């Protein structure tokens, strides 16, 4: 049985007006087309819904029963349409995204705050997550999309490059390196480095750089940049950190130096599930991030 919304609307119009001519005008169809529609509905239902005479139209007992369900369907349909229109106008909705901790320290929250001021009815949620976890959340639908330094495979993900985030050397403020304005990693060969956990994108990009420059591994790996800064300050070694994480490492007993090696950076992508549409709210945030002023990666700030 395939009863269209138009047939439901026609039935309710006739039940409420009691006249074919008035109901047909309300539905913007001719009287003959309207009469055929009611006849088709009764045929589909398998029962007479209206008693007709030359002057009046009245609901049968079966029509009264059908009216209860028809009104419920009509109300739910109208509510669904209103909700979709509201979402498309960004008057309601939810956006959940994942991003590396360095982006979550300053640049992304301020961008989200700007979006929230423009669309206060949209509920925003943010997960600070390392690369592997972020990709898993995108696949499972826990987040609408993510910002990530690892793009994932092309068959599963759609990745758009946002910017390249340079690396800085992190060292103690009393280290001779702290007086440098810039350096190449080969200049610190033989030094010992503290690293972030190998499950994150920082390790993914810095490990080859450290190995090629002859910088030794201290054996210490931590997940948080604050912990990394503490280990460097305590004298366990130098480290390499992405420039936007400097806000998380800033303390008076530490110094940072830009690294000028051509490949000393990590790319940052916008990533979403391939062939999966975003909601209107998520698409608006996706577009906002793509159009936003990029952070000043030379100085580690937006």
Please check whether residue 22 lies inside any domain of the structure.
yes
> Which of residues 41, 73, 88 is at a domain's end?
88
Please check whether residue 301 lies inside any domain of the structure.
no
Residues 243, 170 share a domain: yes
User: What is the predicted pLDDT for the residue at 170?
Assistant: 96
> Which of residues 66, 88, 110 is at a domain's end?
88
Residues 284, 220 share a domain: no
Q: Report the first-to-last Cα separation within the chain, whole angstroms.
A: 59
Residues 146, 281 share a domain: yes
CB atoms < 10 A from the CB of 285, how many? 24
> Which of residues 71, 88, 105 is at a domain's end?
88
Q: What is the pLDDT of residues 244-292, one digit of tens each?
A: 999 889 899 999 999 999 999 999 999 999 988 898 899 999 999 998 8
| Residue-averaged pLDDT of the chain | 90
User: What is the predicted pLDDT for the residue at 1?
Assistant: 59
Please check whether residue 298 lies inside any domain of the structure.
no
Residues 272, 252 share a domain: no
Q: Is the alpha carbon torsion for 271, 276, 279, 284 positive or negative? A: positive
- pLDDT of 301 above 50: no
CATH of residue 189's domain is 3.40.190.10
**Number of structural domains the chain divides into:** 3
Residue located via tokens 């080969």: 186
Residues 177, 167 share a domain: yes
Residues 193, 71 share a domain: no
Phi, psi angle pair for 165, to nearest 5°: -100, 110
What does the angle CA 98 – CA 130 – CA 152 come to, to the nearest 5 degrees? 80
Q: What is the pTM of this model?
A: 0.70
- Residues shown for the chain: 302
CATH of residue 31's domain is 1.10.10.10
Please check whether residue 105 lies inside any domain of the structure.
yes
Residues 14, 107 share a domain: no
Q: What is the pLDDT of residues 88-129, one digit of tens each?
A: 667 778 899 999 988 998 899 999 999 999 999 889 999 999
Residues above pLDDT 90, as percent of the chain: 72
Residues 203, 75 share a domain: no
Residues 152, 273 share a domain: yes
Please check whether residue 101 lies inside any domain of the structure.
yes
Please check whether residue 47 lies inside any domain of the structure.
yes
Please check whether residue 302 lies inside any domain of the structure.
no
Q: Which domain holds residue 184?
A: 163-266
pLDDT tier at 54, thresholds 50, 70, 90 = low
User: What is the predicted pLDDT for the residue at 87?
Assistant: 64
SS3 sequence, the chain?
CCCCHHHHHHHHHHHHHCCHHHHHHHCCCCHHHHHHHHHHHHHHHCCCCEEECCCCEEECHHHHHHHHHHHHHHHHHHHHHHHHHHHHCCCCCEEEEEECHHHHCCHHHHHHHHHHHHCCCCEEEEEECCHHHHHHHHHHCCCCEEEECCCCCCCCEEEEEEEEEEEEEEEECCCHHHHCCCECHHHHCCCEEEEECCCCHHHHHHHHHHHHHCCEEEEEEECCHHHHHHHHHCCCCEEEEEHHHHHHHCCCCEEEEEECCCCCEEEEEEEEECCCCCCHHHHHHHHHHHHCCCCECCCCEC
pLDDT tier at 300, thresholds 50, 70, 90 = very low
**CA distance linking residue 167 with residue 298, whole number of Å:** 10
Residues 255, 179 share a domain: yes
Residues 204, 132 share a domain: no
Residues 9, 84 share a domain: yes
pLDDT tier at 296, thresholds 50, 70, 90 = low
């Amino acid at each position: 049985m395939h009863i269209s919304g138009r047939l439901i609307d026609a039935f309710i119009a006739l039940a409420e007006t009691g006249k074919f001519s008035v109901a047909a005008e309300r539905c913007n169809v001719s009287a003959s087309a309207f009469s055929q529609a009611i006849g088709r509905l009764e045929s589909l239902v398998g029962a007479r819904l209206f008693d007709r005479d030359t002057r009046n139209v009245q609901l049968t007992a079966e029509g009264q029963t059908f009216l209860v369900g028809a009104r419920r369907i009509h109300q739910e349909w109208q509510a669904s349409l209103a909700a979709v229109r509201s979402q498309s106008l960004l008057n309601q909705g939810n956006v959940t995204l994942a991003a590396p901790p360095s982006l979550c320290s300053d640049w992304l929250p301020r961008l989200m705050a700007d979006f929230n001021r423009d669309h206060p009815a949209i509920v925003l949620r943010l997960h600070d997550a390392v690369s592997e976890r972020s990709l898993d959340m995108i696949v499972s639908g826990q987040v609408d999309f993510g910002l990530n330094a690892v793009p994932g495979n092309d068959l599963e993900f759609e990745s758009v490059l946002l910017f390249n985030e340079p690396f800085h050397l992190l060292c103690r403020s009393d280290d001779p390196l702290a007086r440098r304005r810039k350096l190449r990693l080969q200049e610190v060969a033989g030094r010992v480095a503290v690293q972030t956990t190998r499950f994150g994108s920082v390790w993914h990009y810095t490990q080859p750089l450290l190995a090629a420059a002859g910088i030794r591994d201290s054996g210490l790996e931590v997940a948080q940049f604050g912990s990394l800064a503490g280990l460097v300050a305590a004298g366990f070694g130098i480290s390499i950190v992405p420039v936007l994480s400097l806000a998380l490492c800033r303390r008076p007993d530490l110094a940072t130096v830009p690294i000028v090696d051509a490949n000393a950076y990590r790319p940052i992508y916008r990533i979403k599930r391939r062939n999966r549409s975003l909601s209107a709210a998520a698409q608006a945030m996706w577009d906002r991030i793509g159009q936003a002023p990029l952070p000043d990666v030379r100085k580690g700030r937006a």
